[in-house]
Structures are given as C-alpha cells and as structure tokens.
Structure 1
C-alpha cells in the first residue's frame, strides 16, 4: 500500500489560467473526463474550478458562460498538500475540510493533484467509490 501522496497522485493535472473562458474549461473537463481544473500561473496554483462551480456559480446564477472567466468563479482559498506527505495526512485534510481534491504543491510549485477517487483506488480497490472512479464515463 502506498505511504505517500506522490505514490498515488495524478502527476499531470489539467490547468488553465485565470482568463480562460468557461466553455473551454467545460470542454477540457469533458475531453479529459475530469471534474476539476487547477487554475495556475506558470506552475503556481491560483485556484480551482469544479464542474459543480460551473453549475452553482454560473448556470444557477444565470451568468453567461461565454462572458465569464475562470477568475470570476474559481475557489482561491485552497488547501494544498506536499507530495511527501503521508496518505493519512491527505485523508485527514480532506475529511476535516470536506474536500474532494487537493492540489499537490512542492516548494510552491504545482506537481500533481490528489482526489478522493485516487485514494479510494489505493485504499480499497473493491469499494463502490473505487469502482466508480475507475469506470468509463457514461456519455
């Protein structure tokens, strides 16, 4: 069983900059079969946008997605984790803060992303969450 975040994290998370239009973000999520993108300037984390953010902060507020940028809807008060942190620390942070995703940052630079799906696959590959995380997307 993996002991450190580096062993289970996604090593090439999808990133966008703050000026990216939301339709482009949604297309990336669809193409990559992901539910979030990290907002980054070069390799410095600036925020996170989830599929839920698109629904709650844009569609539900009747904002025009084509005229709305990532900067306007991204969560910016993020909790991150170091790649050498133990898996138990990641689980603790996610539980205490009700997080589904953690950007992985080393010396201020984005190096990966960790999701509850990654943890489920690592911790209990036979769990329902692991099955869902590993399944092909239903299109």
Structure 2
C-alpha cells in the first residue's frame, strides 16, 4: 500500500491530549500507556502546545524540578508547527520533521486530531525525501 497522506499514517490510532494544568507525572503516565513520545496540549478545544519526552527531561527533570509539581504548560513547546491531516507525507518532512523536531500535531479543520512522529514515516519515504533534498541542493549549486 502506498501511503499518500498524514491521515493514512495516523490511521485509526486513538488521539490522546493533555490539558496545560496537568502535571508532568500525569503526562509521562499517558505517554507510557500509549507508547508515544509526545502529546498535544489542548485547552478549550484549541491546540496550545505539544509536550514531548525531551521537553520533560530538558525543561523540568534536568533543571531539578519535580514531575509532580510542574505543569504541562511549564514544560511544553507552545504554538508548535502543525500539519493538516490531508497533507502529503512530504509536507511533514519539508516542515523539518526529523530535523528541527520529531513530532508534529495534525489538524483537521483547525482542530487537533493526532500527533505524527518521525518514526511513523516509512523508511522508503525518508530515503526518497533525502535523495530529493540532495538532488535539489546539487541543482541549486549549478545555477550561475
């Protein structure tokens, strides 16, 4: 099967989100139970951030903060880059998935419906995209 859109990658997986006031311990428990590395942070139905394992480690634990007293809002990445559910997989990679960050919230009609991870992208897509970037760079260097 050829995967064409972000929605096809998400498939029927359940969507789990957090409220900004929840603790990092609660967030970590949700991540562990769902076997995911990041969760969307939603307030009043609106995406306000994304919280990744890396955020928890770097912004809280490594700073000596206790996971039971730090809120998601204190450690999350606010206003993350997003992608639409109907966008092609190449758009996620072009949005720096894998380079600048490892997770992208996915929107449908402005509402968050999931989070796509770099590890969700099939290896053959990653290889093709990298080859395209290499070739595009080579052609850009050839112009006078």
What TM-score, normalized by structure 1, do the two folds share?
0.79
Which residue among 91, 94, 98 is the counterpart of 2:93? 91
- The answer to whether 1:37 aligns with 2:39 is yes
Change (3 A) 1:56 1:88: same
The CA deviation at 1:43 is: 3.4
2-structure distance, mates of 1:96, 1:56: 18
Which residue among 10, 24, 30 is the counterpart of 1:28? 30
* 8 Å Cα contact 2:97-2:104 kept in structure 1: no
Match of 1:61 in 2: 63
Partner-residue secondary structure (3-state), 1:52: helix
Match of 2:104 in 1: 102
**Structure 1 unmatched ranges of 5 or more:** 125-139
Match of 1:46 in 2: 48
What TM-score, normalized by structure 2, do the two folds share?
0.77
1-structure distance, mates of 2:97, 2:25: 31
**Structure 2 unmatched ranges of 5 or more:** 127-144
Runs of 4+ in 1 over 6 A off after TM superposition: none
Count of residue correspondences: 124
